[in-house]
Amino acid sequence: MTDTSFFPQARTLTLRQVAEMARATLPDGIDGELLLRGVAPLENAGPTDLAYMDNAAYGSALAATGAAAVLVTPRFASKVPAGSVALVTPQAYRVFAGVMALMFPSAMRPESAFASTGISPGCFVHPSARLEHGVRLDPGAVVGPGAEIGSGTLVGAQTVIGANVKIGRDCTIAAQVTISHAYIGNRVILHPGVRIGQDGFGFAMGPQGHLKVPQVGRVIIQDDVEIGSNTTVDRGASRDTVIGEGTKIDNLVQIAHNVVIGRHCVIVAQVGIAGSTTIEDFVALGGQVAVKGHVRIGMGAQIAATSGVNGDVPAGARWGGVPARPMREWFREIHALKKLASHEDSSNSASKSDGEPS
């Protein structure tokens, strides 16, 4: 539930304002000035709440909701109960997200734990570092020599910004983040515990031991990237590790040296991407996908959760499985295995009924 002690509500919206955001038509006789005081899930929503619905799994919750209004995709519009106003839109979830951003702007990115308005007590800023006006540092933040931080950026408690790192404007670098050997664009969000720019896993292996290979590249993170808690991004070995504009990365992801990720990709939790892989624009990787090094995943490809990618993936493909292959091929193999298992079970049952010992 929404707790205003953690997320103070900045404003309320009328039914008409939400309908305009959704480009939805209000039914005749409905008061467009009805005030929507909050948001809630279908099952908990009350007479002044807004809810949304775009998934058939929640059909029973929609039928029983007490929400004042429901943002709903056309497929489910007829199932909205008589006591709720249906705001029909093809992008119900996206509009709901926009409403929440207006009502609870403090939930959009990590906030200062110290309500900082400048450089807090207990920070350590090297004399050669350059901070633009409006930078906020929480207690214990460390900014190394030659580092540059743009205006409007927050640096959380006990975060370490390494030597010569460049961070753009209006970024949020949360608590206990470490950044080295990196250039970071504007409006980037790094959640707690993110590690950027440490050396990659590079060794020249041999019978006399494994010789460490110096990693002398950088990390380049472009504008509007968001990276979840405890994700690691290694710097390049001899070229740069790059994360493209607008890409969103979940918690606990490993991105190895020399990886290049395109624009507006989505990478879900526990993905591991091995070195020198190239991921083109608008790729989506499901949870726990493993990507072998030195492969290319084409623009717009989608890889199902828990898959293993060990070769190039063409643009626009939908692959899954271990090793990953086209979805139809993967589903046919699964179906064939089910039929085979069912046949073996039937044969075993028949043998037992014929008197064979179990």
Count other C-beta atoms under 10 Å from residue 337's C-beta. 10
| 183 compared with 350, residue with greater pLDDT | 183
Q: pLDDT for 260-279, tens place per residue?
A: 999 999 999 999 999 999 99
Give the pLDDT confidence score for residue 236 in this predicted structure.
97
Give the pLDDT confidence score for residue 127 in this predicted structure.
98
CA distance 170 to 74: 38
Average pLDDT (277-291) is 98
Average pLDDT (213-240) is 97
Give the pLDDT confidence score for residue 310 in this predicted structure.
97
355: left (phi over 0), alpha (psi -120 to 50) or beta: left
22, 40, 104, 142 from 9: Cα distances, Å: 21, 13, 5, 32
Let me know if 126 is a catalytic residue. Answer: no
CA distance 246 to 274: 21
Q: Give the tokens for residue 201.
A: 């896993």
Q: Residue with structure tokens 């460490």?
A: 212
Question: How much of the chain, in percent, has pLDDT values that exceed 70?
Answer: 96
Which of these is catalytic: 191, 210, 257, 335? Answer: 257
Average pLDDT over the chain reads: 94
Q: Which CATH number fits domain 13-108: 3.30.70.120, 3.90.1260.10, 3.40.1390.10, 1.10.357.10?
A: 3.40.1390.10
| 339 compared with 329, residue with greater pLDDT | 329
Question: How much of the chain, in percent, has pLDDT values that exceed 90?
Answer: 90
CA distance 69 to 237: 54
- Position 354 pLDDT exceeds 80: no
CA distance 273 to 308: 10
Give the pLDDT confidence score for residue 190 in this predicted structure.
98
- Position 116 pLDDT exceeds 90: no
- Alpha helices, H only, 156-260: none
pLDDT band (50, 70, 90) for residue 351: low
Q: pLDDT for 35-64, tens place per residue?
A: 999 999 999 999 999 999 999 999 999 999
70, 82, 148, 291 from 59: Cα distances, Å: 13, 15, 51, 36
Average pLDDT (99-124) is 93
Average pLDDT (202-208) is 94
Spell out the domain ranges in the chain: 13-108
Q: pLDDT for 127-172, tens place per residue?
A: 999 999 999 999 999 999 999 999 999 999 999 999 999 999 999 9
pLDDT band (50, 70, 90) for residue 114: confident
Give the pLDDT confidence score for residue 353 in this predicted structure.
61
